[in-house]
Amino acid sequence: MTPVAVLATGMVTGVGLTAPATCAAMRAALDGFKETRFMNTEGEWVIGCPVPMDPPLRGLAKLTQIAAGAIRECLGFAQGEKPEAIPLLLCVAEKQRIGRVVGLDDRLLSDIQAALGVRFHSSSRVLARGRVGGVVAIDLARRIMADERVTRCLVAGVDSFLVGPTLSHYEAQDRLLTPKNSNGFIPGEAGAAVLIGLAGPPAAAELRCSAVGFGRERATINTEEPFRADGLVDAFRALRQDGGVSLNDADYRYTDCNGEQYGFKQDRLAITRMMRIIKARFDHLHPADSIGEIGAAVGPCVFGLALTAARKGYAPGRGVLCHFSNDDDDRAAVIFRFGEEYGKP
C-alpha cells in the first residue's frame, strides 16, 4: 500500500478556532463546557461545548463554516498545490443518527467549496461513517493517491451533537452527563482537517501511517450481549495484516472515549487481550476531556493533536495508536509513527 503521512492540520473547536489554539488549550487541560440554549426534560440547561460564531449560525450553515475554517487552515500548508488536484474526503455523521442535519450528503461538500471559493479534485466525497470515518478516510486516501496519482489529500470531519432531536434521543437513553448521571458524555461540535501526503524520508517531521485495521462488534453499547471487545480486538489484529505492526509498536494512544463507561471498558479489554509486552507507561488521551463528544470530527482532530504533540516534543513517544468506535458495530484503529521507521532507535 502507498505509504502516506499526516503533514498538517486545521481545527475549529469550542476551545480554539485554529489548530494551535485548540492544541494549546487541550495541553493546558482547558475545556469549553458551558450552558447551551437547550433545556432537558427536568428544566435544566444542557451543558455542552459549542463553537462560538459571530453572527450565530445553526444547522448546515454552521457546519459549513466550521468545516471550511479547518480546511482553509490546512490548505495553507499545501505548498502551492492547487485545490483542484487535492481530493477532499469529508467525514460526517452516520446516516442512522437521530437528529442528523439535513443536507450532509448532497449539499455540504458543495457548500464548503462555495465558502472557500475553490473546487476540489473529482475524487472528493462524503463519508457518512461517524467516528470511524477518519480511519476509513485515511485508508481511502492511500488508495486514491495510488490510483489517481495525486500527491496530496485532505481528510476532514465536521459534526455537532448540539441539535435538539439528537440531545433528546441521548437523554432518553440516559447517555448525557448530568449531575444525576455520571455515565454519560458532554455533547460538543467541531471541525478538523489533516493534510495527507506521500510519506517522506524516515526522519521527516511527519506522522507516518503504519497500518489501519477494522472490526465488527456484536456487543454494542445498546445491546445486552456478553462484552469481550471482539470488534476492537479484530481491528488491532488487522493492523498486523495491513502493515506488520501491533500494539507493542505504540507508545501511547489517542481515542474517541467520551466519558461513558462502555468506551473505557472496551479500551481496557482490547488492550489487555492484545498487548504482548508490559509497558511501564501507555498513556490514554482523549479530546472529549476538553471539547466533549464531537462524533465524525474526532478522527481528524486526534490525528492533528498527535502530529502537533510530536512536533512540539511533548508526545509520550513516537508511536501512537488511535482507535474509534461507533454506536453500531463499526470499529477502527490506526497506528502512526513520527520521524523514524519501525525498528530504528
CATH number 3.40.640.10 is the correct assignment for the domain at 211-338: no
Q: Note whether 258 and 293 are within 8 A (CB).
A: yes
Domain boundaries, the chain: 4-198, 211-338
Whether a cis peptide bond, with omega within 30° of 0, leads into 55 is yes
Q: What is the topology classification, in CATH, of domain 4-198?
A: Peroxisomal Thiolase; Chain A, domain 1 (3.40.47)
Cell numbers 477494522 correspond to: 214
Q: Note whether 140 and 89 are within 8 A (CB).
A: yes
User: DSSP secondary-structure letter at 67?
Assistant: H
pLDDT tens, the chain, 345 aa long: 789 999 999 999 999 999 999 999 999 999 999 999 999 999 999 999 999 999 999 999 999 999 999 999 999 999 889 999 999 999 999 999 999 999 999 999 999 999 999 999 999 999 999 999 999 999 999 999 998 889 999 999 999 999 999 999 999 999 999 989 999 999 999 999 999 999 988 778 999 999 999 999 999 998 989 999 999 999 999 999 999 999 999 999 999 999 999 999 999 999 999 998 888 999 999 999 999 999 999 999 999 999 999 999 999 999 999 999 999 999 999 999 998 643 343
Tell me the whole-structure pTM to 2 decimals. Answer: 0.95
* Residue 239 neighbours by CB distance under 10 Å: 25
Identical fold at 4-198 and 211-338?
yes
Give me the half-sphere count of Cα atoms (radius 13 Å) on the Cβ side of residue 323.
32
